[in-house]
């Protein structure tokens, strides 16, 4: 079968890489793809939002299965457009993609179906939003309602910051129409956890727990990004907690969407804060996470194509019964970014050392924002590469990933040096007689 992956990031490269390993797959196409996906298959020069062109291509080329990486085409209705033409595609309908495309919709669903989340209010008037902030005696997070490329949530420590966030989102309209309404919610403390599940009908199959690192700099400093690194599994995602998340978050969300006549099919991602009172949903996404997908694909042993087909064909129950097969070894992914990201940055910088890094064992360098120019691989995005490695334990996976990072260079390259450290520290403390005093686990 011919498969098509829509998108151009590290997540899409990882999906192409994994799909290519399936005996069911005869060719992998990626639209528009990057220099990495071109090594796994064939790039097609169509942007992810060009729905008509994608439909036409899929029909002409006889694509048997399409999987969508980013949220924009899902929110635009790519699944409806493909299904109208009888084309098989993994993802939610436009109506169900609202779960990610509107934070107001997601929060109201959570309220209606008792899904644990931070207490909140919705505003479309900046004056009322300001009054509400003044009346609160706890820190808040101000979130643009619509899609804002992962940058629409502003975590505030003071009232001044929250008022400035209202100004930026609602008055200056930094995210355009996405900021016409805002959600203002209580700021929560705890550890974040990403839980990604495959959903079809009433069946839910959870993938292994992952954690990403959103802030740009070490020790969670700096502005939020799309994600500067990720690892899987994570010690906080215990089997008990995962069962609780399935019961109190995923099951009611899937049930709620059916009740609202927006049945959800595809990939459901719950971004959670694990608080002392239990898990709380920060957001829902309606797709695979980036960079969470990179370590997950390194570890997944089950045939990805069979799994994705099962979603489309309502056959997911068989995987729910048998469970998925995973490499027991953890995987760590370090994102190499362009100086300036998540703000403005330069493109077109030559990347050196990719061949060298590719020779290291248990390492895969997924491309995030790259392209080929004059025969050379150059930078083409804020997040440039997702250097991912497996190891016998998290520490070894981290060491391998950073060893590969050391081989790679481009002008203005920056990355976090503490990916997975919190989990490594936690594991050390949990060991019998364990202590964190034997040197920083972040030391490489």
Which residues contact ligand GLY by CB under 6 A?
Answer: 150, 212, 226-227, 285, 289-290, 292
Binding-site partner at residue 185 among ligand AMP, ligand GLY, none, CB < 5 to 8 Å by type: ligand AMP
Count, residues near ligand AMP per rule CB under 6 A? 15
- Quote the CA–CA distance of 258 and 112 in Å, as a whole number: 13
Cβ 435 to ligand GLY shortest distance, Å: 32
Tell me: does residue 143 bind ligand AMP (CB under 6 A).
yes
| Residue nearer to ligand GLY on the CB measure, 227 or 235 | 227
Question: Which of the listed partners (ligand AMP, ligand GLY, none) does 192 bind, with a CB threshold of 5 to 8 Å by partner kind?
Answer: ligand AMP
- What is the torsional sign of CA 80, 86, 92, 96? positive
Residue 65 touching ligand AMP (CB under 6 A): no
187 binds, among ligand GLY, ligand AMP, none (CB under 5 to 8 A by kind): ligand AMP
CB of 276 to ligand GLY, least distance (A): 24
- The CA R_g of the chain, rounded to the nearest whole Å, is 21
- Encode burial over 22-46: b for 16+ CB neighbours within 10 A, e otherwise: beebeebbbbbbbbbbbbbbbbbeb
Over the window 252 to 281, marking each residue x when it contacts ligand AMP by CB under 6 A and - when it does not, the resulting string is -------------------x-x--------
Q: Any contact of residue 380 with ligand AMP (CB under 6 A)?
A: no
**Position among 12, 50, 185, 208 found at the interface with ligand AMP (CB under 6 A):** 185
Residue 208 binds to ligand AMP (criterion: CB under 6 A) = no
- Between CA 73 and CA 94 the distance in angstroms is 9
What residues have CB less than 8 Å from 388, skipping those under 6 apart?
14, 294, 295, 298, 331, 332, 333, 334, 363, 364, 365, 366, 401
- At closest approach, how far in Å is the CB of 270 from ligand GLY? 11
Q: Of 63, 141, 337, 394, which lies in the binding site for ligand AMP, with binding defined by CB under 6 A?
A: 141
Residue among 194, 341, 329 at smallest CA distance from 269: 194
Q: Least separation, in Å, of the C-beta of 410 and ligand AMP? A: 27
Look at residue 289 and give the partner it binds from ligand GLY, ligand AMP, none, a contact being a CB closer than 5 to 8 Å depending on partner kind. ligand GLY
Q: Does 192 bind ligand AMP (CB under 6 A)?
A: yes
User: At 247, phi and psi to the nearest 5?
Assistant: -70, -45
Q: In whole angstroms, give the CA distance from residue 336 to residue 384.
A: 6
Positive or negative, the CA dihedral 51, 56, 59, 64 is negative
Q: Which is nearer to ligand GLY, 78 or 378 (CB)?
A: 78
Instruction: Decide: 320 and 395 in contact? Cβ < 8 Å.
Output: no
Please report whether residue 373 would count as binding ligand AMP according to CB under 6 A: no
**Considering the rule CB under 6 A, would residue 78 count as an interface residue with ligand AMP?**
no
Nearer of residues 150 and 263 to ligand GLY, judged by Cβ: 150
335 CB-near residues (< 8 Å, 6+ apart): 10, 227, 228, 229, 291, 368, 383, 384, 385, 386, 387, 415, 416
d(CA 123, CA 260): 23
285 binds, among ligand AMP, ligand GLY, none (CB under 5 to 8 A by kind): ligand GLY
Q: What angle do CA 311, 150, 97 make, to 5 degrees?
A: 35
Question: What is the closest distance, in whole angstroms, from the C-beta atom of residue 345 to ligand GLY in the complex?
Answer: 19
According to the binding rule CB under 6 A, does residue 147 interact with ligand AMP? no
290 part of the interface to ligand AMP, by CB under 6 A: no
Helix (H) or strand (E) holding 170: none
- Shortest approach of ligand GLY to residue 100 CB, angstroms? 9
CA nearest to 365, candidates 347, 383, 342: 383
Residue 227 touches which of ligand GLY, ligand AMP, none (Cβ within 5-8 Å per kind)? ligand GLY
Which residues on neighbouring strands pair with residue 217, listed in sequence order?
221
- DSSP for 334-382? EEEEETTTTS-----PBPB-HHHHHTSTTEEEEESSEEEETTEEEE-SS
153 binds, among ligand GLY, ligand AMP, none (CB under 5 to 8 A by kind): ligand AMP
Residue 440 vs residues 29, 47, 409, 424: alpha-carbon distances, Å = 43, 44, 26, 10
- Rounded to the nearest whole angstrom, what is the least distance from the CB of residue 53 to ligand AMP in the complex? 30
3-state secondary structure of 408: coil
Q: Between 193 and 257, name the residue whose CB sits nearer to ligand AMP.
A: 193
Q: How far is the CB of 229 from ligand GLY (least distance, A)?
A: 10
Query: What is the nearest approach in angstroms of ligand AMP to the Cβ of residue 39?
Result: 31
- Binding part of the chain for ligand AMP, among 182-190, 240-248, 305-313, 399-407 by CB under 6 A, reads 182-190
Q: Where are the alpha helices (DSSP H) in 167-220?
A: none
Residue numbers at the binding site for ligand AMP (CB under 6 A): 118, 141, 143, 153, 155, 185, 187-188, 192, 214, 224, 271, 273, 282-283
């Amino acid at each position: 079968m011919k498969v098509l992956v829509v998108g151009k990031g590290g997540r899409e490269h990882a999906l192409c890489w994994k799909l290519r390993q399936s005996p069911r797959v005869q060719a992998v196409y990626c639209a528009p793809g990057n220099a990495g996906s071109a090594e796994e298959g064939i790039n097609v020069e169509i942007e992810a939002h060009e729905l008509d062109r994608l439909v036409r291509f899929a029909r002409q080329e006889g694509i048997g299965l399409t999987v969508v990486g980013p949220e924009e085409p899902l929110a635009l209705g790519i699944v409806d457009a493909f299904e109208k033409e009888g084309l098989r595609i993994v993802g939610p309908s436009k109506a169900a993609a609202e779960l990610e495309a509107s934070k107001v919709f997601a929060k109201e669903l959570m309220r209606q179906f008792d899904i644990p989340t931070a207490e909140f209010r919705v505003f479309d008037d900046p004056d009322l939003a300001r009054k509400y902030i003044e009346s609160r005696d706890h820190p808040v997070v101000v979130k643009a309602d619509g899609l804002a490329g992962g940058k629409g949530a502003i975590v505030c420590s003071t009232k001044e910051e929250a008022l400035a966030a209202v100004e930026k989102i609602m008055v200056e309209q930094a995210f355009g129409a996405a900021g016409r309404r805002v959600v203002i919610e209580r700021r929560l403390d705890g550890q974040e956890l990403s839980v990604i599940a495959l959903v079809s009908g009433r069946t839910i199959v959870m993938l292994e727990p992952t954690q990403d690192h959103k802030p740009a700099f070490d020790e969670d400093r700096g502005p939020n990004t799309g994600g500067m690194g990720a690892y899987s599994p994570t010690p906080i995602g215990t089997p008990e907690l995962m069962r609780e998340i399935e019961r109190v978050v995923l099951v009611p969300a899937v049930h709620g969407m059916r009740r609202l006549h927006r049945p959800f099919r595809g990939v459901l991602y719950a971004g959670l804060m694990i608080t002392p009172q239990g898990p709380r949903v920060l957001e829902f996404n309606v797709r695979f996470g980036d960079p969470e997908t990179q370590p997950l694909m390194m570890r997944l042993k089950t045939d990805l194509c069979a799994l994705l087909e099962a979603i489309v064909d309502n056959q997911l129950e068989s995987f729910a019964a048998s469970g998925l097969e995973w490499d027991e070894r953890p995987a760590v992914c370090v994102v190499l970014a362009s100086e300036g990201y998540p703000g403005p940055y330069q493109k077109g910088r030559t990347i050196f050392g990719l061949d060298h890094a590719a020779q290291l064992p248990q390492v895969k360098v997924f491309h995030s924002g790259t392209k080929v120019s004059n025969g050379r691989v150059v930078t083409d995005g804020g997040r440039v590469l997702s250097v991912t490695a497996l190891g016998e334990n998290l520490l070894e996976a981290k060491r391998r990933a950073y060893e590969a990072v050391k081989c790679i260079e481009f002008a203005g390259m920056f990355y976090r040096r503490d990916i997975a450290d919190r989990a490594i520290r936690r594991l050390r403390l949990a060991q019998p007689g364990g202590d964190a005093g034997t040197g920083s686990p972040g030391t490489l």
